[in-house]
């Protein structure tokens, strides 16, 4: 199947609530703030600004890589890019394999000018390096689209459930090592919502990974989405599999202090971003809620980001901190029984 048609189907299925495991509660809702009745902080003086990839974010957040390729993807990416720039958060582009296969799709990824002030993060499946994508191709993407970082996704389960999936994952760790060495921008290693376990982390650290988006379970379910496109009876037993984002941050952050962790997978509010940063992530991200907002309007995306930022700042206020540096890795901002 044509990759553009696949990306279009993904956007359609993502609109169904059943694709989001966080509806009705996720791992973040079991983790509570260490609320202080007397915080000694002026909310109007709280500063949530932080640096990421050499640029300033208004709070530690970026929109996860999602789309590009299809016509719908062009307008979604343009809306997300304008909203990200206006509100001061980072912007992720979806898999850029579509452009490598068909250069007429340039415009659907070309948002650098719309998001000039904020980090712009590219994306490609690492497995594509077993199917003809070279390091030079990826370098070309970085130059052409003005990327500040390249994220590479690991998605064996998703590929296995796709009727047309690319399923040879042999030798990819060596290829990742070569890629990290060859690129002038950081490589962000991510999953797509099943989670990067500490076993895999050890391998990633060995080959020099410095940025890892844990991309845990509990939000968008790619088993469900690919099940809807192919066989739901094949995919169904996998929907509950994976490592949840909160557990991954608990374990990985302390075990691999040399890595900058990014929290993704099931974040559904600015409070979830705050909890992620308190657990030690340098930044959080989210995908599905922003795809849904972008399919409505620019205003919907801007309002959603502003609301998450406000929730992040209120979380700082009610836990008694006014500087972002006092949040990062400060697990005492979360209730003790959970940390």
Question: Quick one: 262 or 327, whose CB is closer to ligand FMN?
Answer: 262
Among 95, 108, 162, 223, binds ligand FMN (CB under 6 A): 95
How many helices and strands, by DSSP H and E, does the chain display?
14, 10
Does position 90 interact with ligand FMN (CB under 6 A)? The reply is no
Return the structure tokens found at 65.
């890589």
* Cβ at position 73, least distance to ligand FMN in Å: 9
- Nearby residues of 94 by Cβ (< 8 Å), 6 or more positions away: 7, 65, 66, 67, 68, 69, 73, 77, 123
Among 215, 223, 263, 313, binds ligand FMN (CB under 6 A): 215
Does position 327 interact with ligand FMN (CB under 6 A)? The reply is no
- Residue 121, φ and ψ in degrees, nearest 5: -115, 125
| Contact assessment for residue 188 and residue 262, using Cβ atoms and an 8 Å cutoff | yes
DSSP E strands, 64-195 = 90-92, 120-125, 149-153, 187-190
Among 266, 270, 280, 284, binds ligand FMN (CB under 6 A): 266
Among 6, 74, 190, 309, binds ligand FMN (CB under 6 A): 190
* Cβ at position 268, least distance to ligand FMN in Å: 7
Among 74, 288, 309, 331, binds ligand FMN (CB under 6 A): 288
* Cβ at position 323, least distance to ligand FMN in Å: 27
Does position 220 interact with ligand FMN (CB under 6 A)? The reply is yes
Question: Quick one: 288 or 309, whose CB is closer to ligand FMN?
Answer: 288
Question: Quick one: 224 or 317, whose CB is closer to ligand FMN?
Answer: 224
List b or e across 294-304, with b for residues whose CB sees 16 or more CB atoms inside 10 angstroms: bbeebebbbeb
| Contact assessment for residue 284 and residue 296, using Cβ atoms and an 8 Å cutoff | no
Among 60, 119, 219, 284, binds ligand FMN (CB under 6 A): 219
Does position 270 interact with ligand FMN (CB under 6 A)? The reply is no
* Cβ at position 40, least distance to ligand FMN in Å: 34
CB neighbour class for 44 (10 Å; exposed up to 12, middle 13-18, buried from 19): exposed
Return the structure tokens found at 291.
């795809």
Binding mask 4-43 for ligand FMN (x = CB under 6 A): ------xx--x-----------------------------
| Contact assessment for residue 222 and residue 276, using Cβ atoms and an 8 Å cutoff | no
Within 139-168, the residues that bind ligand FMN by CB under 6 A are 153
Does position 192 interact with ligand FMN (CB under 6 A)? The reply is yes
Report the C-alpha gap between 176 and 284 in whole angstroms.
23
DSSP E strands, the chain = 50-52, 55-57, 61-63, 90-92, 120-125, 149-153, 187-190, 211-213, 260-263, 283-286
Among 122, 193, 227, 280, binds ligand FMN (CB under 6 A): 193
Strand, helix or coil for residue 20: strand
Q: Which stretch binds ligand FMN (CB under 6 A): 46-54, 132-140, 186-194, 274-282?
A: 186-194
Residues that bind ligand FMN (CB under 6 A): 10-11, 14, 64-67, 94-95, 123, 153, 190, 192-193, 215, 219-220, 264-267, 286-288, 291
């Amino acid at each position: 199947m044509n990759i553009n048609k696949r990306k279009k189907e993904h956007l359609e299925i993502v609109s169904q609530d059943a694709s989001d495991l966080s509806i009705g509660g996720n791992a973040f809702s079991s983790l509570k703030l260490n609320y202080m009745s007397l915080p000694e902080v002026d909310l109007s003086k709280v500063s949530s600004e932080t640096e990421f990839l050499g640029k300033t974010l208004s709070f530690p957040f970026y929109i996860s890589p999602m789309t590009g390729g299809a016509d719908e993807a062009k307008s979604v990416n343009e809306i997300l890019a304008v909203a990200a720039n206006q509100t001061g958060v980072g912007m992720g582009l979806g898999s850029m394999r579509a452009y490598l296969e068909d250069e007429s799709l340039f415009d659907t990824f070309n948002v650098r000018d719309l998001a000039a002030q904020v980090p712009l993060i590219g994306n490609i499946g690492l497995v594509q390096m077993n199917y003809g994508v070279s390091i030079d191709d990826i370098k070309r993407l970085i130059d052409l689209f003005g990327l500040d970082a390249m994220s590479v996704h690991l998605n064996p389960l998703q590929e296995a459930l796709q009727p047309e999936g690319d399923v040879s994952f042999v030798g990819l760790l060596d290829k990742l090592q070569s890629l990290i060495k060859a690129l002038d921008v950081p490589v962000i290693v991510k999953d797509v919502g099943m989670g990067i376990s500490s076993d895999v982390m050890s391998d990633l650290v060995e080959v020099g990974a410095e940025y890892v988006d844990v991309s845990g379970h509990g939000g968008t379910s790619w088993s469900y989405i690919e099940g809807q496109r192919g066989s739901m009876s094949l995919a169904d037993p996998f929907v509950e599999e994976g490592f949840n984002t909160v557990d991954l941050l608990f374990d990985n952050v302390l075990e691999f202090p040399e890595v900058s962790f990014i929290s993704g997978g099931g974040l559904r509010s600015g409070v979830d971003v705050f909890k992620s940063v308190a657990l030690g992530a340098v930044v959080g991200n989210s995908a599905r809620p922003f795809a849904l907002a972008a399919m409505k309007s620019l205003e919907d995306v801007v309002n959603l980001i502003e609301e998450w930022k406000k929730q992040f700042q209120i979380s700082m206020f009610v836990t008694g901190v006014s500087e972002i540096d006092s949040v990062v890795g400060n697990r005492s901002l979360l209730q003790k029984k959970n940390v």
